[in-house]
Amino acid sequence: MKIGIDARFVGPEGTGLGKYTEKLILNLAKIDKKNEYCIFLRSKNWNFLKLPKNFKKVLADVRWYSFEEQLKLAGVFSGEKLDLVHVPHFNMPVLYRGKFVVTIHDLIHHQFSEQSTSTKNFLMFKIKRGAYKIIIYSAAKRAAKIIVPSNFVKKQVINAFKIDPGKVAITYEAAEQEYFNQTQKPKFKTQNLLKKLKIKKPYIIYVGNAYPHKNLEKLLDAFKILITHSPREAWAKRGHSLAPRSLGEAGSLITHLVIVCPRDIFFERLRGEIAKRDLKSRVILSGYLEAKELKILFGHAAAYVFPSLSEGFGIPGLNAMAAKIPVVCSNIPTLKEIYEDAAVYFDPKNANDIAMKIEKVLDDTKTRTDLVEKGKQLVKKYSWQKMAQETLRVYESAQ
C-alpha cells in the first residue's frame, strides 16, 4: 500500500498537531517496513525528520488553513498516485477525490464559535467560520475512517456529523519520552535557566497555547486569589468571601506562575490581562522553549495547572506526570477520561475553586505524594508506538 501523510505541521510551529504527526511518523517508521509512505512537508520543516528508505519526502510548501491549501494540496496528493492519504487534522482539501483518513482531535471550533476566539475582523471571521464548517463536514462525511484521541471526542464526532460509530477509531496519544528521563541536569544549567527567565521557586506551571478556550484569564484570577488570600479557609468559614493573608504567607506558598506559550496575538492579549491584574512581577510569560528547557522547568515546578474548558486529549498533563510533578486540572470529561484518579480536579469557571485545589496540592504532602505515584503508573498505560500500531490497523481497514 502507498500511504501519504500530511506532515506540514511537524516541528515547533505546529505545536500539539506537529507533535502528534511527528510521533506517528517516527513510530510507523519503526514498525512498518512493508508499506510505502509519502511524507508531505514544507521547505521550513524539510530536514526535521530522518526517515528510512520506504519513506519518501514530498514538497508541499503550502500554508495550513489557507485558500491555497484547498486549491493546490489536492493536486499535490493526486500527483503521487496514493492508495490512501492521512491528514492529521480536519483540513482535508475538499477537491481531493482519493481515499483518505482524517484525525479530528477535538470539536473546539464547534463549542466556541464567538468572534473573541479569532484574530480576524468580523467579515473575515464569518468567511473563515463558513469555510471551516464546509471543510470539516466534507472531511467527516467523505473519510474512509476518522481517528480521534479519546472516547469523549468520538461521541462528539458521531453526534455532530451523524455518522456510523464503526467509522470512528480511538487511538490514545502519550507523554513525550524526554520527560521520563530523570537524569539530573547540572545544577548550574537549572539555575541559569531559572535566572534567565527570572523564575523563583516555588512555582506552578502551564504549557500550551493561549487560545480563549484554554481559560488562562480564569487561571490568572485564581493565582491572584492564591497569593493574596487563603481560598480553602474562605470556602470553609465564610462561604464565597475571601480570607486575607499576608504577603509573607502568600510568598511562602507560591512565588510565580510560569506560562509557556507561543508568541502570537493571543500571547499579547494575555500579557495585557496580566498587567490588568497587577501580576507582572508574579507571572512569568515565556515564548516557545525547547524540550530540554521545558524538562528542567517541569522537573522543578511545584505543580502543573491545566485550566482548559475543552481538550481532545491532554498531552501536557501526561508530560507533567512523567516528570513526577502533580497535576491540577479542569473537571472536563476528556481530562477525567485520560487522567483518571491521577489528578486533582477543579471547576474551570470558578476561580476560587481553582485556587483552593492548587492550594490543597501545594500544602498537603500526602496528596502530592499520591498524585505523583498515581501519575507514574498512569503514563505507562499510554504509548506512541501503540498509537502508531492502532493507526496502521486503521489504514488497513480503510482499504
> 277 and 153: one domain?
no
Parallel, antiparallel, or unpaired: how do β-strands 256-260 and 327-330 relate? unpaired
CATH, residue 387: 3.40.50.2000
Q: Do residues 197 and 248 lie in contact, with contact meaning Cβ atoms separated by under 8 Å?
A: no
> 339 and 312: one domain?
yes
Q: Which residues of the chain have pLDDT under 70?
A: 13-14, 112-125, 182-188, 230-252
Q: Do residues 152 and 334 lie in contact, with contact meaning Cβ atoms separated by under 8 Å?
A: yes
pTM value is 0.89
Count structural domains, the chain.
Answer: 2
Cell of 394: 486503521
Mention every residue, 6+ apart, whose C-beta is less than 8 A from residue 275: none
pLDDT of residue 2: 98
> 223 and 155: one domain?
no
> 118 and 204: one domain?
no
pLDDT of residue 186: 62
What's the Cα-to-Cα distance from 67 to each of 40, 71, 100, 292, rounded to whole Å? Answer: 18, 6, 20, 36
pLDDT of residue 129: 75
pLDDT of residue 103: 97
Q: Do residues 223 and 283 lie in contact, with contact meaning Cβ atoms separated by under 8 Å?
A: yes
pLDDT of residue 354: 97
> 186 and 285: one domain?
yes
In terms of residue numbers, what domain contains 206? 177-381
What's the Cα-to-Cα distance from 48 to each of 9, 45, 77, 80, 385, rounded to whole Å? Answer: 11, 5, 21, 21, 19
> 124 and 37: one domain?
yes
> 368 and 390: one domain?
no
> 261 and 375: one domain?
yes
> 97 and 71: one domain?
yes
Helices (H), 259-364: 265-276, 291-300, 315-322, 333-339, 351-363
Q: What is the pLDDT of residues 136-183, one digit of tens each?
A: 999 999 999 999 999 999 999 999 999 999 999 999 999 998 888 766
Cell of 61: 510548501
> 243 and 201: one domain?
yes
Q: What percentage of residues in the chain have a pLDDT greater than 70?
A: 88
> 125 and 220: one domain?
no
